[in-house]
Amino acid sequence: MTLISKRSPKSLNTRSIGRSVYIVLLFLFFLGCSIYFVLPQRALDSSGRRITGTVTNVYVGDKGRMYVEYSFQVGAQTYSGRCNVRTSDYRRDQVGGPVAVTYLPDRPEVSRIEPSNAALNAYLFFWAVLAGSGIAAIAVAGDAIRRRIG
């Protein structure tokens, strides 16, 4: 006599699959955003050209962040930019004064002043996304394991 179990194998829960897909898509979105901000900073670090530009505006923006707007000239073309800066740099920079600008020779519209918080902010965002994604992946995996065991 053969005993046949009437219990069917546990099927995948479509709700947990939907949650997993949502988390993966969210991860990919934030990873794409962080790469979008990190890549120009890395390019500026590795192949940026430094010149002297001019401070055009210094102001405090949203949430008390300090910003410096600047302009610089490459050939006959004038470019401008804006960077979030540390408080000490904010107090140092004066409208009309000189500022060190790093730009990409093949894309001068990509630039930053030195020193600025642009590179640090981009790198911190990138690592925060990776850390958050790791935590989310562990949570989803733990939930899936708990459902299979329980």
Burial class (CB in 10 A: 0-12, 13-18, 19+), 72: buried
Q: Which residues make beta-bridge pairs with 129?
A: none
**C-beta separation of 45 from 119 below 8 A:** yes
Q: Report residue 58: phi and psi, to 5°.
A: -135, 125
Q: Locate tokens 């994604």: which residue? A: 133
pTM tops 0.85, yes or no: no
pLDDT at 120 over 70: no
pLDDT at 14 over 70: no
Query: pLDDT per residue over 30-86, tens digit each?
Result: 777 777 777 777 888 888 999 999 999 999 988 888 888 999 999 999 999 998 887
Q: Is 64 left (phi over 0), alpha (psi -120 to 50) or beta?
A: left
Cα 83 from chain centroid? Answer: 15
Predicted local distance difference test score (pLDDT) of residue 123: 62
pLDDT of residue 81: 94
Contact of 127 with 94, CB cutoff 8 Å: no
Q: Is 73 exposed, middle or buried (0-12, 13-18, 19+ CB in 10 A)?
A: middle
Instruction: Tally Cβ neighbours within 10 Å of residue 116.
Output: 25
pLDDT (tens digit per residue) in 87-117: 766 667 789 999 999 999 999 999 988 766 5
108 vs 2, 51, 124, 136, CA distance in Å?
78, 11, 24, 38
